[in-house]
Amino acid sequence: MSVLLIFIHIIVCVVLIMVVLLQTGKGADMGAAFGGGASSTLFGSTGASTFLSKATTVAAIVFMLTSLALAYMSTNPTGKSVMTSAPAPVSAPATSETKPAEPAQSAPQTGATSQQQPESAPKN
């Protein structure tokens, strides 16, 4: 189910990009480039919506629906896990023969205490 939804989502993404790039902007004729855009209104001419604008709307709606569906499916997994059928690992109890690891030797401290001479060292 999710593979089909991802496939549809990718196809709709490509279609949406192509449809948006094929559309022309408002006032994109040569007269508008030289300041002769008096034929259009302030926000562009409002005419019948073209096929590309309707295709953009449909592709945007399908894109949003597939995005929401994929987000819902990723947060609520319904499939079985591979690990549910595997038995839990059993660890053996520690025996009395094992000895704990020796603590590491600590490094000599720096600062005021490191300048003191040890008591066993000869004094000058």
Is 55 inside a domain boundary?
Answer: yes
Q: How far is it, in rounded angstroms, from Cα 37 to Cα 15?
A: 31
Q: How far is it, in rounded angstroms, from Cα 123 to Cα 113?
A: 17
For residues 8 and 61, the answer to whether their CB atoms sit within 8 Å is no
Token pair of 26 as six digits: 């408002």
Could you tell me the pTM of the whole model?
Answer: 0.50
User: Could you list the pLDDT tens digit for every one of the 124 residues in the chain?
Assistant: 889 999 999 999 999 999 999 887 766 555 555 665 555 555 555 555 788 889 999 999 999 999 999 999 888 776 666 677 777 777 777 676 666 677 777 666 665 555 555 566 566 6
Domain that holds residue 73: 1-25+50-78
Look at the chain and report how many structural domains it folds into: 1
Is 62 inside a domain boundary?
Answer: yes
Is 105 inside a domain boundary?
Answer: no
State residue 1's pLDDT score: 80
Is 108 inside a domain boundary?
Answer: no
Is 12 inside a domain boundary?
Answer: yes
Is 30 inside a domain boundary?
Answer: no
